[in-house]
């Protein structure tokens, strides 16, 4: 792990997850963040394992990979993550095994924030920690909206009895115990 001394405030300002941070908050962020590097093909996160880190890509690209649950070993690339994008937020805020893995697609330079460092910021009442949480929630809400749009188009394309049953099962699993 390397300190973030070589990452300028101007560069941090370009990261959407850090939008609205003051210079002091960016400095505070750089004090708790660490730099990690990965070679192409190296895994940052493994599906099914647990860790609570929030990651921001500084340089390079990585891909979000999910392996089939039926044991056939088939990989599905869910996303490619580019500079200034982030990942790991689901396990960062909700301790659970990773739903997918993340693998370096090219030489990769990442910022890592550990949950323990974040908890210290919360305990200190650091406004930066609250802004980070708010920005993360906004990002997750945006992803969920796009997923809603995609699912709606998918279900509406070729509505069959089988697809309707699948949709109803999926919907029930997502919205169980919700009061809408």
Interval 130-170: pLDDT, tens: 999 999 999 888 888 887 777 777 777 766 666 667 766 66
The pair of structure tokens assigned to 24 is: 């002091």
Provide the mean pLDDT of the chain: 86
Q: pTM, whole model, 2 decimals?
A: 0.83
The four Cα atoms 52, 58, 59, 60 give a dihedral, to 10 degrees, of: 40
Residue 114: other Cβ atoms inside 10 A = 17
Where is pLDDT greater, at 77 or 164? 77
């Amino acid at each position: 792990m390397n300190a973030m001394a070589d990452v300028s405030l101007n560069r941090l300002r370009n990261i959407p997850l850090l939008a609205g941070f003051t210079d002091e908050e960016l400095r505070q962020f750089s004090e708790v963040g660490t730099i990690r590097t990965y070679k192409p093909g190296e895994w940052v996160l493994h599906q099914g394992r647990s860790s609570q880190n929030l990651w921001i890509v500084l340089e390079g690209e990585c891909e979000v990979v999910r392996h089939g649950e039926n044991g056939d070993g088939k990989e599905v690339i869910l996303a490619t993550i580019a500079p200034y994008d982030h990942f790991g937020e689901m396990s960062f805020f909700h301790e659970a095994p990773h739903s997918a893995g993340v693998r370096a697609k090219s030489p990769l330079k990442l910022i890592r924030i550990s949950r323990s460092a974040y908890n210290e910021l919360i305990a200190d009442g650091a406004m930066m920690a609250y802004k980070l949480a708010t920005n993360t929630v906004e990002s997750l809400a945006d992803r969920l909206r796009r997923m809603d749009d995609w699912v709606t188009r998918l279900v509406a394309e070729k509505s069959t009895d089988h697809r309707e049953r699948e949709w109803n099962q999926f919907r029930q699993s997502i919205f169980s115990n919700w009061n809408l």
